Copies of this chain bind each other. A is one copy, B any other.
């Protein structure tokens, strides 16, 4: 943003630490490093420099790098899901959409988040992000009137879809940045689309046919469209004639 990157980078090193070291401060610094340089940017060396300390000090507060990454992920997700829990309860479908968009925006701000989310999800149901997301989505599923026996299956389907789609979006923006500051997101999708068009016509007829749709699609719209597919499928099963679209045909 501002032009004095030299100063901002240097400052902290020689600056005497004002606050004592704490797990919170470490996680905060980790998120900053991740935001600035991606997953590769988080090293204990960069962290010690930024916090003006040694590696041993960090290990006093945090077990290892994996735990630190997990804590950073959890902090960001918790903030993303803390959107408007107050106020009149949404229609459940809108609530699910809000959760999806919240995670969408969070990965937009923190491009490293998507990969972490799938990694953590894959680490087992006890990683702290998993219950968090499950709870947010699941409450809406319950409010939807889904019978209790299907809560887990329905919620899982929504969570899997949302995280997959959100990850895809994060990838697109992250990649656009990789191609250089001049290349924007549209430019990235454009070149990706061209790559699809150059695939073998015999092996990839379908992919070639949708190459243009890849270029022109809007990730946010697509995310919501997919959420609606799943919501429709969930409600159709039990509420005959149930549609995900709350407003009738207008």
A residues bordering B, Cβ < 8 Å? 114-115, 118-119, 121-126, 131, 134-135, 138-139, 142, 148-149, 151-157, 159-161, 163-165, 167-168, 170-172, 174-175, 188, 192, 195-196, 199, 203-207, 209-210, 213-214, 217, 222, 225-226, 228-234, 236-237, 243-244
Contact = CB atoms under 8 A, between A and B. Distances in A.
Contacts of A209: 142, 148, 151
Contacts of A151: 206, 209-210, 213
Contacts of A222: 152-153, 156
Nearest to A188: B124
B204 A131 contact: yes
A168 B134 CA distance: 13
A206 B160 contact: no
- In the complex, the count of this chain's copies comes to 2
A152 B214 CA distance: 7
Nearest to A233: B229
B115 A119 contact: yes
Contacts of A192: 124-126
Nearest to A219: B156
A126 to B, nearest CB: 4
A225 B192 CA distance: 32
A244 B149 CA distance: 20
Given A196-B131, A233-B228, A210 B164 contact: no
Contact of A160 (B188, B226, B228, B236): B226
Contact of A230 (B149, B188, B230): B230
A228 B172 CA distance: 28
A165 B160 contact: yes
A121 B229 contact: no
28 contacts: A118-B164, A118-B167, A121-B167, A121-B171, A122-B174, A123-B171, A124-B175, A126-B192, A126-B195, A134-B206, A134-B210, A135-B205, A138-B206, A139-B205, A139-B206, A152-B217, A153-B213, A153-B222, A155-B210, A156-B165, A156-B222, A157-B165, A157-B226, A159-B164, A160-B161, A229-B233, A233-B233, A236-B243
